[in-house]
Chain A
Amino acid sequence: MAPFFPLAPAGRGRGPPRSGGRVRGEAQVAEARAEGETEARSPSSSAVALAGVSKSFGATLAVEDVSFDVSDGSFVSIVGPSGCGKSTLLRMTAGLTAPSRGAIALRGEPVTGPIRGVGMVFQSPALLPWRSTLGNILFVAEMGGLRPGRHRRRAEELMALAGLVGFEKSYPHELSGGMQQRASICRAMLLKPRLILMDEPFGALDVITRERMGFALQTLWSESRSTVLFVTHSISEAVLLSDVVIVMTPRPGRIRDVVPIDLPRPRESAILRDPRFIDLSARVREGIEAPWTE
């Protein structure tokens, strides 16, 4: 198993940029992911497809004419200032809210109501205070009418990856904010969903915890092979984690730029100082900072 928090020693950042060859030496999952462009990875199926999606609340247009495809197994971030309809996009993708116009499909199936089995992580951990950490992770199995005992091992594996060993029986209020959110991510990944939606999952955490959470998420995701749609307003977080970053404009939310992130995986903390990482971050920032015209 990949180690939790694969933080590199500080000196490593000044070393030569990591070559693709070295990445291939890592675990097989990571190799498949790092192989090349997102588009090239699985061209046949798109896990999520939005076509001309708009959403208005009363007279307010929250999202306007958004179209994009997410290929299977990829990690796609939606970045933009607050109030650009990012969360609304996620809710529409999960079928929790209907778009005013346009269509959404998951693997070719149109979304008409709540999609059972989609993993979801919110900004708040949304844990049940009366359940232990393990009980909370198994909650999705129980809600789906499955026998929680059958998923216990998987839950424990996830907890090990997320650094939660020893906290199985702890109640949420006994965990730190970062641990609560890691438990919430484990819960979303328990049943190996094909699609996981994350709505600013690290938004409520401090900057240091947040950065570590990014690496923790990368570890969990590389093991899961799920498609992830990740909403954030942190540029570095988006570039670090994603195969593709979608940049949105504020109110109404429209797509400003789509930035493929072709950095090798797994990405360690040294990559934050890699010139390519800095260039890509700058491009995303440009998209966010560019003046918008109505």
Chain B
Amino acid sequence: MDRVTHAMPPSLRLLASVAKPAAGFGALLLLWQWGAPVAGIPRYVLPLPTAIAGRFAETFGVQLAGLAATGFTTIVGLALALVLGVLMALSVIYVPMLRALIMPLLAAFNSIPKIAVAPLFVIWFGLGVESKVLLAFLLALFPVFVNALTGLGEIEPDLLDLSILAGGTPWRVFLKVRLMNAVPYITDALKVAFPLALVGSIVGEFIGGNEGIGHLILLGQFDLDTPLVFAALASITAFTTLGIAAIALFERAVLKWRPSQRRR
């Protein structure tokens, strides 16, 4: 497959890279549309793609409002996780004493399923955005912290020696060596942490409140409005895809030097 795409001119190659997955997706939808009735699956269990599309169009305004609410708590939670995860990694790297203190605590903390604690957050912080942001933040924190720790901390010792002999101050070494080294690790972490933060937001919405895609899914469930549930899932999938694409675009712009980025 690769050999074929490499022989094509770039514009065709781009078209091919979009067309192939689109064709696969289209085939799946067709199979669903024609196959589900043949297999005798009831509509309320698996609604037809056309019904989902119709419901999506009808509820478009509600979907957008839901996405705005869910997107807000997800992005705020993710941003907090990014800032705090990097700061925590830095403190562990620059104050080695803290490592022995923080690492076992964090490991223990990470072994708690955060979603199980969600009802507690509702008790503490109420049904507003706070509990959802907190859940999104907690789920996103760990991957950011772990990757930041590797990216900021694991620098070739020779490079650090060289920087010191060249007169590098701790600030310069941080800015020009550690931070630059950490960028690919952190963008990788964001790709994992973003869907996790979304899980946090939606679970928060399941547990309480009257906003967001999670709330919309619950409404659909109560009324046995399966097409609405699927339409809400489609919205959230589109949101995730856009978010990951944004991270990938950022990566491509910033990490031009990476061999894997250049080959594309």
Contacts and interface: CB of A to CB of B under 8 A. Distances in A.
Interface of A: 91, 94, 96, 114-120, 122, 124, 126, 128-131, 139-145, 171, 173
A131 B166 contact: no
B64 interface: no
A145 B257 contact: no
A94 B257 contact: no
Interface string B242-263: 0000000000000101110010
Contact of A120 (B165, B169, B177, B181): B165
A96 B165 CA distance: 9
A130 B165 contact: no
A144 B167 contact: yes
A128 B168 contact: no
Nearest to B180: A130
Contacts of A122: 158, 161-162
Interface string B146-172: 000000000010110111111111001
Given A130-B257, A145-B169, A124 B162 contact: no
Given A142-B176, A143-B163, A126 B168 contact: no
A144 B164 CA distance: 9
Interface of B: 156, 158-159, 161-169, 172-173, 176-177, 180-181, 183, 255, 257-259, 262
Question: Chain A at the B interface: mostly helix, strand, loop or mixed?
Answer: loop
A122 B156 CA distance: 11
Nearest to A184: B162
Contact of B165 (A114, A129, A141): A114
Contacts of A114: 161, 164-165
A118 B165 CA distance: 6
Contact of A143 (B158, B167, B259): B167
Nearest to B156: A126
B158 A129 contact: no
A116 B167 contact: yes
15 contacts: A91-B161, A96-B161, A124-B156, A124-B158, A126-B158, A126-B159, A126-B162, A128-B180, A129-B258, A139-B166, A139-B176, A140-B166, A143-B167, A145-B169, A145-B172
Nearest to B259: A173
Contacts of B162: 120, 122, 126, 140, 143
Contacts of A131: 257
Nearest to A132: B257
A272 to B, nearest CB: 30
Contact of A117 (B165, B172, B257): B165
Given A130-B255, A145-B169, 14 more contacts: A114-B164, A116-B165, A117-B165, A117-B166, A120-B162, A122-B158, A126-B156, A130-B180, A143-B163, A143-B168, A144-B166, A144-B168, A171-B257, A173-B259
A115 B165 contact: yes
Contacts of A140: 162, 166
A141 B172 CA distance: 12
A129 B177 CA distance: 10
Contacts of A129: 257-258
